[in-house]
């Protein structure tokens, strides 16, 4: 695998960012886009555009086929059993809200408990909080260990007879911990508990096999997966998606509408009300093809090498403190520098063209637990190289110099 | 863009050893502010005497060097000013941080102006303007006895 060649497929790296070469270390936030994805959006709008699933004219039929092709590609990519288990949403956030909302309407009852973890992104906490307010459910938190991991034992400890649902991240966007989702699911299912997985960080970087993981729901963010913004995927087991009520009402999701009654459409239309992000869906097929052309095993190997290299580099750098040291770690390096606030780090690194994120990364619960208001985070993607991490380290040194450390 | 202009010695020094980072005893006005994007927060305390003059000003909170330095310098120079003077200084400061080349308020001494101008480097970093202005907006809120938390705005 030739990373230089892969990097060339991303037009943004031809740009000078404030006179610097771009060292993009913010892929956990959002990934850059390969040319094939950008071109596909342009091509669809210029040569093939029509709305999907409605009209019978030539363009509409062709666009509908393209749209449904992506659904099939996603199904294959994540090894879902049925094409109708793939629902497009406006993002992973909407996917998680959809699950919480529909389960809240028809499954969770007052007093039921939902178990999440201290690693969760706000989008896998706030939707459950809505149910805490509206349905009086209880939210419990599985706690991280010293390394910033969530173990199966910790999950088991927090399960009570009232636990109805476990909702967990596949890969922490702060500590990088990869959770033992398969084992947690086995445990949960043995107790009749549903499992929801926030796959925002998992989907771009790990091999996905829904039938092997066996979770009930899995939420994907397409813009973190070298795809367009405004698009997410909700995977849900067919029996759940059939049983649960619709989420939004509108065109496209109905079967029959009368003054006194309405019946809803079949899957997946039931969950795709209104005009969807058509161009994004069609372009997302190219993201999947791009990932397939590299091979997810190669992606994982490359990123594991990068993280190991980056971890060693930063561990050797005095005054840099890495957050979490999980055995199974994805491409995330979160850190603090004693005496320099993360925002100051990010501004100083930016001057060298090094793009990282600073803040709480939508994980205030975790930062409270770690007793820090914020952290700096460098995260890698398929286009990153060891040289990028060398530059990160060098810019950190410059930052220390400015702050007289 | 110039990092040296942003991180001047005086900013680094105030950021590292902020003045008035404490809670004023017997304060009679206070307000909280936060930046929901990054989680930074500040709590400003004012003690006004019978003549409505700021006898003491202080703050608690955490944030970057820019926000800490800004709150430190602000609480230092606002002492001895009345509400009207303080608010004019805030206006002047916000104007300078956003666009004005210099400070104009007659309530600021040359020395105070020089100190405040050290924060002018922020102008070139639009994403960081809110770091410099949070404590100032929060102080206005304290004067006006707003109970609602101040959210950052540029």
From the list A359, A367, A404, the residue facing B37 with the nearest CB is: A359
Q: Describe the strand order of the beta sheet including B150-151 as a list of residue ranges.
A: B54-62, B40-48, B29-35, B150-151
- Name the closest residue on chain B to residue A375, using Cα atoms: B38
pLDDT at position B1 is 56
Residues A284 and A323 in one domain: no
A210-228: b (≥16 Cβ within 10 Å) or e: beebebbbbbbbbbbbbbb
Q: How many independent structural domains does chain A possess?
A: 2
From the list A347, A374, A403, the residue facing B39 with the nearest CB is: A374
Domain's final residue, options A273, A292, A311: A292
Residues A306 and A327 in one domain: yes
How far apart CA A102 and CA A110 sit, in angstroms, is: 15
From the list B37, B62, B64, the residue facing A344 with the nearest CB is: B64
pLDDT at position A308 is 97
Residues A248 and A341 in one domain: no
Distance from CA of residue A262 to its chain's centroid? Answer: 34
pLDDT, tens digit, 9 for 90 and up, residues B11-68: 999 999 999 999 999 999 999 999 877 678 899 999 999 899 999 999 999 899 999 9
Q: Residue B45's domain is classified under what CATH number?
A: 3.90.1010.10
How far apart CA A357 and CA A310 sit, in angstroms, is: 16
Domain's final residue, options A247, A262, A292: A292
Residues A69 and A196 in one domain: yes
Residues A67 and A104 in one domain: yes
Query: Comparing C-alpha atoms, which of A171, A169, A340 is closest to residue B12?
Result: A340
User: Is A362 designated active site?
Assistant: yes
Contacts of B16 in chain A (CB under 8 A): 339
3-state secondary structure of A245: coil
Domain's final residue, options A292, A327, A342: A292
3-state secondary structure of A237: coil
Residues A72 and A162 in one domain: yes
- A402 — contact with chain B (CB < 8 Å)? yes
Containing structural domain, residue B109: 3-144
Containing structural domain, residue A368: 3-30+295-402
Q: Residue A225's domain is classified under what CATH number?
A: 3.40.640.10
From the list A347, A358, A404, the residue facing B125 with the nearest CB is: A347
A-to-B residue pairs, Cβ atoms closer than 8 angstroms? 51
pLDDT at position B149 is 81
Residues A161 and A23 in one domain: no
- A370 — contact with chain B (CB < 8 Å)? no
Closest-CA distance of chain A to residue B51, Å: 38
Residues A299 and A285 in one domain: no
Interface test with A, best of B6, B64, B66, B122 (most A CBs within 10 A): B64
- What are the residues of chain B with a beta carbon less than 8 Å away from any beta carbon of chain A? 1, 3, 6-7, 12, 16, 37-41, 62-66, 68, 125, 127-128, 131
Residues A252 and A330 in one domain: no
Cβ separation A360–B38 shorter than 8 A: yes
Cβ separation A373–B64 shorter than 8 A: no
Whether B17 is in a domain gets the answer yes
Q: Describe the strand order of the beta sheet including A217-221 as a list of residue ranges.
A: A86-89, A232-236, A217-221, A194-198, A163-169, A113-117, A138-142
DSSP state of A144: P
pLDDT at position B153 is 52
Contacts of A340 in chain B (CB under 8 A): 65
Return per-residue pLDDT of chain A as tens, 405 residues: 899 999 999 999 999 998 999 999 999 999 999 999 999 999 999 999 999 988 999 999 999 999 999 999 999 999 999 999 999 999 999 999 999 999 999 999 999 999 999 999 999 999 999 999 999 999 999 999 999 999 999 999 999 999 999 999 999 999 999 999 999 999 999 999 999 999 999 999 999 999 999 999 999 999 999 999 999 999 999 999 999 999 999 999 999 999 999 999 999 999 999 999 999 999 999 999 999 999 999 999 999 999 999 999 999 999 899 999 999 999 999 999 999 999 999 999 999 999 999 999 999 999 999 999 899 999 999 999 999 999 999 999 999 999 998
């Amino acid at each position: 695998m030739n990373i230089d060649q892969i990097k060339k497929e991303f037009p943004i790296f031809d740009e000078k960012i404030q006179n610097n070469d771009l060292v993009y270390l913010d892929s956990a936030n959002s990934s850059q886009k390969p040319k094939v994805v950008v071109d596909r959006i342009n091509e669809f709008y210029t040569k093939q555009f029509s709305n999907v699933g409605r009209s019978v004219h030539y363009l509409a039929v062709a666009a509908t086929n393209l749209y449904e092709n992506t659904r099939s590609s996603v199904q294959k990519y994540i090894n879902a059993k049925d094409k109708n288990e793939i629902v497009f949403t406006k993002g992973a956030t909407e996917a998680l809200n959809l699950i919480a909302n529909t389960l809240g309407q028809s499954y969770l009852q007052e007093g039921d408990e939902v178990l999440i973890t201290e690693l969760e992104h706000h989008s896998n906490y706030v939707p459950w909080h809505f149910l805490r307010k509206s349905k009086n459910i209880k939210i419990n938190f599985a706690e991280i260990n010293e390394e910033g991991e969530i173990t199966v034992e910790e999950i088991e400890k927090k399960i009570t007879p009232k636990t109805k649902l476990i909702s967990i991240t596949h890969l922490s966007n702060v500590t990088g911990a990869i959770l033992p989702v398969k084992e947690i699911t086995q445990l949960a299912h043995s107790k009749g508990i549903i499992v929801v997985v926030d796959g925002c960080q998992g989907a771009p970087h790990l091999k996905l096999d829904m039938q092997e993981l066996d979770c009930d729901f899995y939420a994907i963010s397409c813009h973190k997966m070298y795809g367009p913004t405004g698009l997410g995927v909700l995977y849900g087991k067919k029996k759940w998606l059939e049983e649960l009520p619709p989420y939004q009402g509108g065109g496209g999701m109905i079967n029959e509408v009368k003054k006194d009654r309405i019946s809803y459409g079949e899957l997946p239309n039931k969950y795709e009300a209104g005009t969807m992000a058509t161009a994004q869906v069609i372009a997302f097929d190219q993201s999947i093809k791009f990932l397939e052309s590299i091979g997810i095993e190669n992606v994982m190997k490359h990123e594991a090498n990068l993280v190991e290299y980056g971890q060693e580099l930063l561990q050797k750098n005095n005054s840099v403190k890495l957050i979490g040291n999980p055995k199974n770690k994805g491409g995330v390096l979160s850190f603090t520098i004693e005496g320099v606030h993360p925002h100051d780090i990010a501004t100083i690194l930016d001057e060298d063209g090094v793009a990282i994120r600073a803040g709480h990364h939508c994980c205030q619960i975790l930062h409270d637990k770690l007793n820090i208001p914020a952290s700096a985070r460098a995260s890698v993607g398929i286009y990153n190289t060891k040289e990028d991490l060398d530059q990160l380290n060098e810019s950190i040194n410059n930052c220390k110099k400015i702050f007289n450390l | 863009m110039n990092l040296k202009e942003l991180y001047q010695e005086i900013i680094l020094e105030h950021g590292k050893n902020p003045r008035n980072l404490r809670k004023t005893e017997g304060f009679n006005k206070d307000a909280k502010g936060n930046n929901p994007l990054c989680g930074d927060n500040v709590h400003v305390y004012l003690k006004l005497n019978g003549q409505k003059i700021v006898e003491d000003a202080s703050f608690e909170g955490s944030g970057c060097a820019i926000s800490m330095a800004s709150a430190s310098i602000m609480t230092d120079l606002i002492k001895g000013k009345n509400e009207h003077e303080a608010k004019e200084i805030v206006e002047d400061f916000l104007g300078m941080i956003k666009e004005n080349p210099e400070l104009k308020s007659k309530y600021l001494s040359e020395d105070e102006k020089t100190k405040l101008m050290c924060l002018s480097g922020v102008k070139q970093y639009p994403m960081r303007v809110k770091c410099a202005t949070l404590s100032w907006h929060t102080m206005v809120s304290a004067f006006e006895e707003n109970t609602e938390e101040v959210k950052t705005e540029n």
